[in-house]
Every structure is written in structure tokens, then in C-alpha cells.
Chain A
Amino acid sequence: MAEKIKIAQYWGAGCGGCDVALLDIDAKILDVHAIADVVFWPIGFDGKLKDIESMPDKSITVSFYNGAIRNSENEHIAKLLRQKSVVMIAFGSCACYGGTPGLANVTNKKEIFETVYKKTQSTDNPEFVTPQAHLKVKEGELELPEFWDTVKTLDQVVDVDYFMPGCPPTVNLIAMAVDAVANYVTKGTPLPPKGAVIASDKTLCDECKRERVEKGRRIEKIYQAYEITPDPKKCLLDQGIICIGPATRAGCGAMCPNAQMPCRGCMGPTRGVTDQGSSMLSALSSLLNITDSESKMSEEQIMTLMTQVKDPLGTFYAFSLPKSPLRRTVTERGKRKVS
């Protein structure tokens, strides 16, 4: 049989869930084994970076990179794998859009270090010792990855061929990707066009089985998911629970709404949309009730109505902040006090 291809899987700033997800494909892992040798997989086995460094360029067929990029090591390995691989796949929401770690873009290195190494209840660190990127000791110099202020997506650092969103990507989507690679290797079937998102082109609501109000959709009040027991058949958004489905790409089978939980948007924005957050903000604002006395309502009353949405940024950008146009928060410098 033909020589096996080489694949690599790496975790950047992620949780490990994506690495486990790859194992969830059960027997399909044998298909992977039939065609591929795994040359690098830090969570799976001990591998040395220098072995990868010594490989010829483009000698790895596919690299699956999960996790976002939040330190110099994440970036270094992203660049290295890009150089050594024919196909680079952003695997999972963190790599594609920043994911949960990307929410760190509401803060910065200084604040994170202060919280983690000083303020947490369980921390006793009176001298505020924090990790240093370089430290000279008498045996030589010690080095740690440099921690950054801003979390980035994989495609903000290297050229990415395919995107596999999901937190983590579902078994079906991974199987789709494995099949595409296997068919390419064994039968010469062309790969999907560069930049393709390995998921559905529809909107999550399209694959959700809950019944929506078709005409004159209106919500009176917004509820947190824990405040009410929703009707199991009806659309959650119609019941006042913020479900990010309208602004989210399909592909997961609407898992969360099926389990009585609102979608939080892990599949990222729908096709053609870049800013998932403002897309959801738009969808939600159009649904909030308009009454006959609307023309007499003041802007203050409207503001009160909208403050029912407790944390717009955290709700609408739960997985996509680094990929949004603004990418991170800013700090006003002016003398004027922010009200």
C-alpha cells in the first residue's frame, strides 16, 4: 500500500476538548490510522519540536490546529506547522474565531496577571511573583512563552486553508473532514475550495426543529435561561430566551436548543457575515415588542427596555470576539469621564 500521509494536531490556547473530540469519531479513527501517521500531537504523546523543525517543508499533509493564539509559543508553532504542512486547518471555535479564550480581549495581560497571580482567594503571593519570559539563573537562562494582551485567531497569524468551527467540532463534521482528506489521498478527489468552512451554509434556525412564530414575531420580556422552564416545542427566542441561532452557522444539528438550552453561537457567524455579535444584536432588537404608544416613548424608556439584555458583549460575542472587526476592547484616554 501507498506510503501513509503525515498529520499533526496541536493545541494553542484551548481547553483540550478539541483534542478529545478527534477521538470521539470512534471507529473512524481507524480510517485515519489506515492512511496517516500522526507525527505531532502534544496531548497524545511525547513529541519534540525539533523533530518537526527538521522535517522538510510541506511534508505534513494536514495540520489540525485547535485553540487560539495568545502567546509566543502558540504563534511559533502555528508558523512552524504552516511551513511544514500542505493543508492547515483551524480546528474548533477557538482557532477559527478566538472562542472562549478570546473573551480575554476585554482585558489585558496586566489585569489577567493581577487576578491570577495576586487577587484570587487561593493565591498567596505577597511579592507578586509572575512568570517571566526570560530569567537568568546561575545554570543559564530560562525561557517561557511571552503572554500577550490580545488573543488572536489562527488566520490572523498564518494562512489557513479550512475552518472547522464548533466547540468542539461535532463528530459529523470531523468525519466529513476526515473523508475529504482520505478521498483526496486515496482517490485523488479534489479538496474543498480554499477558505471553505467545513459545516453547513445554512443558519442554525434552519436546522432547529423548534416551532417559530412565523408572522409578527414579538417578545415582551427577556429571560435568562434559568428563570423559566421553556416550552419544549417552541422556539426559545420566541419565549424570550436569548438564543444566538439566527446569527449562527448551522452544522451542529442544533444540539443546544434540542437539549433545552439556547445556542450560544459556537459555530460562528453565518455565511457572508463577519460580525456575529452585531448580527445577533440586530436580530434581537427587531424582536422586542413595539406597542401602540411607541411614538410617545422616550429614548430613556427605550434604553430601559434594552437593558434587559444584561451583557451584550458577552452574550453576542461569546465565541467570536477576536474575529469581530474591533477584535478587542479599547481604553478612552480623554479627561471626560465615561458616564
Chain B
Amino acid sequence: MNSEAVHAGSHGGDGGSEHFEPKILVFCCNWCSYAGADLAGVSRLQMPPYFRTIRVMCSARVDPEFVIRAFEKGADGVLVAGCHPADCHYIGGNYRTRRRMALMKMLIQQFGFDPDRLRLEWVSAGEGEKFQKTIIEFTNTVKEMGPTPYKGGV
């Protein structure tokens, strides 16, 4: 898929924001957001290349443990994208997702992370531009926050 990250992000040695290439993980649901991401790709919309996409059948497939694991593996930011309310292919998957992600934000904040390292966004199959905008914004937010504070749990 075109919009998939081509460069492996890596942290600048000094953590200075100019050299900081964040690692951003994006979960896209199969029915809306992945198609939206694909549209952004085929439309050649320009986006910072620091994200990698994982396709899941529904945003509700994003088990909270996936998010925790992403941060454990060194992600600087995690974006979960799903169908707009009322549009989920599985009727109410995204309603579960939004409850979980709200709670996950509270949780990762208690873990000491800036809660904005986790973001939920609704992107439909036709919203290539919204996908692009979301990626640009989120990348900027993550760059502003700097590298993940996680250092292997020690």
C-alpha cells in the first residue's frame, strides 16, 4: 500500500526535535480507515513518512494490549483509526473502541506518558485528505513531545 511507511524511523541521538524521526504506529480498520489511507496514497497526498500501518478488521480489534505492546516496543505515538460513529461495518465496534481508547488515555497518562501519544480518529473510505491531515497533525504533535520516555521498564 502506498501510504505505508517507507523509512524506518529512528531517534536522533540527542533527542533534539530537528533530527527526531518518530516511530508512529497506525491501526486502520479494514472497511473505512484503511481504504481512506489507501485513497490518500493513490491520490499522492504528501505525508511525513514516519508511520507504519497495521490493518485490522475493525477498530474494536485493537486490543488495549496492542497499544501497551506498541509503547513497550518503543512507539512514540499510536493512532487508532476507525469508521465514523454509526458507520462501523460490525455495527458498534467503534463504540467499544472509543470507550477503550478514552480509558487507555487515562491509563497511559497514569503510566507517565503524555496522553496525546495515543490518538483516536474517525476516517471514512472517502476521506483521503482527512487521513493525510491526521497524519500530519499527529506527527507534529509527536515531534513536539519528543521521543518516547519508555526505557524498557527499568
Contacts and interface: CB of A to CB of B under 8 A. Distances in A.
A299 interface: yes
B145 interface: yes
Interface string A287-330: 01010001111010011011101011110100000001111111
Q: What secondary structure prevails in chain B residues at the interface with A?
A: helix
Nearest to B63: A282
B58 to A, nearest CB: 13
Given A278-B65, A330-B111, A338-B114, A294 B106 contact: no
Interface residues of B, number: 41
B106 A275 contact: no
Nearest to A280: B64
B34 interface: no
B85 A330 contact: no
Interface in B20-50: none
A273 to B, nearest CB: 8
Contact of A277 (B107, B148, B153): B107
A328 B105 CA distance: 16
A281 B153 contact: no
B99 A305 contact: yes
A263 B21 CA distance: 44
A326 B68 contact: yes
A274 B105 CA distance: 20
B92 interface: yes
Given A150-B153, A278-B63, A331-B149, A313 B110 contact: yes
A285 B110 contact: no
A284 B86 CA distance: 21
B5 to A, nearest CB: 23
Contacts, number: 127
B153 A327 contact: yes
A285 B96 contact: yes
B150 A281 contact: no
A286 interface: yes
Contacts of B127: none
Contact of A302 (B63, B102, B154): B102
A62 B72 CA distance: 34
Interface in B51-100: 63-65, 67-69, 71-72, 85-86, 92, 95-96, 98-100
B110 A329 contact: yes
Given A299-B102, A306-B99, A326-B150, A332 B63 contact: no
Given A281-B104, A285-B100, A332 B112 contact: yes
B95 A325 contact: no
B68 A275 contact: yes
B114 A313 contact: no
A294 B64 contact: no
Find the residue from B15, B67, B114 having the highest chain A CB count within 10 A: B114
A334 B145 contact: yes
B102 A330 contact: no
Interface in B107-154: 107, 109-116, 120, 144-146, 148-151, 153-154
Contact of A288 (B99, B116, B120, B154): B99
A286 B85 contact: no
A106 B110 CA distance: 8
B73 to A, nearest CB: 9
Contacts of B110: 106, 311-314, 329
Given A325-B69, A330-B149, A290 B95 contact: yes
B102 A303 contact: yes
B106 to A, nearest CB: 5
B114 A282 contact: no
A149 B120 CA distance: 33
Contact of A333 (B116, B149, B153): B149
Given A324-B68, A330-B113, A294 B149 contact: no
B114 A285 contact: no
Interface of A: 106, 149-150, 273-275, 277-279, 281-282, 284-286, 288, 290, 294-297, 299, 302-303, 305-307, 309, 311-314, 316, 324-334, 336, 338-339
9 contacts: A285-B103, A294-B86, A311-B110, A325-B69, A330-B112, A332-B113, A332-B145, A334-B114, A336-B145
